[in-house]
Chains A and B, each alone.
Chain A
């Protein structure tokens, strides 16, 4: 057994022969082994200094969450998001007051974070498509009880067990509430690893601000890819203790509940939530436009599909085929409807590209129907087209229009 490495920069200092008979050769082997072990040990990047890291998407979400003050994570393994659960297992224990639980199911995980959110912790759970379906009971409950929480969906191919390839088939589920009842969740659709970091941090702030569950909707590609990332400084948490359930002390006892038996009271609660969602829809829209100023055709895509679209657009412009641009919703709910419609003032051709059979397409139609022509290209079930393929699709679509 190797001795504990106090000074990890020079393990040879820590390794001394137990007796003089121990050969220098053995010591040398041990030093080599220790150096190798040190390389293998993944150490938590120092959170005190802002640095650039090369990390995979799943790990970035975990690190951003911990930096944002997430102190309770519960999750159940499912590919392609396992690295996030593993990251939290490894690093939550180093965070002060951090709790990691590998739950018995996705259902248990969402209810564990419900309890922790009620107790006042910043909470997160993550899963992939089939697991997110299981979590819907809890997400509906979190929305009803107005508990801040972050849910990460690293989408895979569906329906059913589907496969473990990147897909975007959960758009409807994410943006329409997902569970039963009249509610919405804020949904972010990150397209770069940097955005994974930034939006994860913002997700916690918005969850607190509006006391609502927030979903990060990425896919297996985003979860697995590695890119350089800079973690921004987290904002100090603003969340009143009045909303926390920590024992009544000598005061009045509090109740957190979604059960409201009186129809008129329940109706009022629904309208209260609806008013909140209106405020969110007004204030929290995020989107990116790329090369739309001189565009003859605009591709509408989010997440991984938007990355592919950018590559396709670059190709088309390099080859002087189509002056294409990109409109990329970053908030999928609230959907940047008015912004998209304003583009239709001068651009009349839009092509929606999704890794699904056409789900965001409906939101685009709601925004643009009657204002512009809307085409669609989809690759569902885990198929990921190349930028070259998409460029050909766009070019053909545009030529046909002419």
Chain B
């Protein structure tokens, strides 16, 4: 008998992704759906897609979902989670969404230790709007609004979200990973699982930052985009676990 070893996750709808070839969103979506399948939490999970390329995430996830205005995902997720503390709530955000317009909402949701999970897709560029500078655009990187390359005195420096948020006591788990190889994809999936587990154990705010290729706006082939992440982007944004309180965690459910 043939054994099924690979199939569509149960709660990923049978729609064709609108994402560009080589884009990381579709892989990230699939990984999240796989973890939701494995943890069997589809019925009690609510997702918050962002403004940006992933705004249509509800066309793919077979979950209850509510869109957030640009950057407001963590605030909206806070409202959902505080009202329904026994549900899993995740926000899915891009770099502009999380680290530019929504940095206050993200920072303070993390600082309050909101028991939610944020999936942070960092592709160092504004994808949906056509490749403008993102807060995570690295120095010298050319975008449509930094045609001569990002310049530190004119445009400031790339924002390192995991490093920043991991300083906050409310954050239980912060890991940066990528999608450039099967090994990295497996690592990312484990991180996603761990983040949801943090939420299940009520440990506080969890974030998984995923360095994600954007071949279209980087003007590269998908393979070159992965190489660029490995050789350039991950030097600026090191792949690491920046915070993980799970080994020593006490459940903070009874904490004041």
Contacts and interface: CB of A to CB of B under 8 A. Distances in A.
Interface of A: 71-72, 74, 99, 101, 103-105, 107-109, 111-121, 123, 137-138, 141, 145, 245-250, 253-259
Interface in B52-85: 55-56, 58, 61-69, 72, 75-84
B77 A254 contact: no
The range of chain B's interface size is 35 or more
Contacts of A116: 79-80, 82-83
B83 A99 contact: yes
A253 B80 contact: no
Contacts of B45: 247
Nearest to B84: A119
15 contacts: A71-B83, A111-B79, A115-B77, A115-B81, A117-B79, A119-B79, A245-B46, A245-B65, A245-B66, A247-B45, A247-B84, A247-B87, A255-B64, A255-B66, A257-B66
Contact of B80 (A105, A118, A249): A118
Given A103-B75, A115-B77, A245 B64 contact: yes
B84 A246 contact: yes
B105 interface: yes
A285 B198 CA distance: 50
Determine chain A's interface SS by DSSP, over half rule. mixed
A72 B83 contact: yes
A103 B58 CA distance: 27
A246 B63 contact: no
A108 B67 contact: no
A258 B67 contact: yes
A114 B48 CA distance: 12
Contacts of B67: 145, 255-259
Interface string B74-105: 01111111111001100000000000000011
B44 interface: yes
B114 to A, nearest CB: 10
Contacts of B107: 104
Contacts of B44: 247, 249
The 8 closest A-B pairs by CB, nearest first: A115-B79, A116-B79, A119-B83, A111-B75, A104-B108, A115-B76, A111-B72, A112-B79
Given A115-B77, A248-B43, A108 B58 contact: no
B42 A248 contact: yes
B28 to A, nearest CB: 19
A115 B65 contact: no
B72 A108 contact: yes
Contact of B76 (A72, A112, A258): A112
Nearest to B68: A111
A43 B149 CA distance: 61
A109 B75 CA distance: 7
A196 to B, nearest CB: 25
B43 A114 contact: no
Contact of B79 (A74, A247, A254): A74
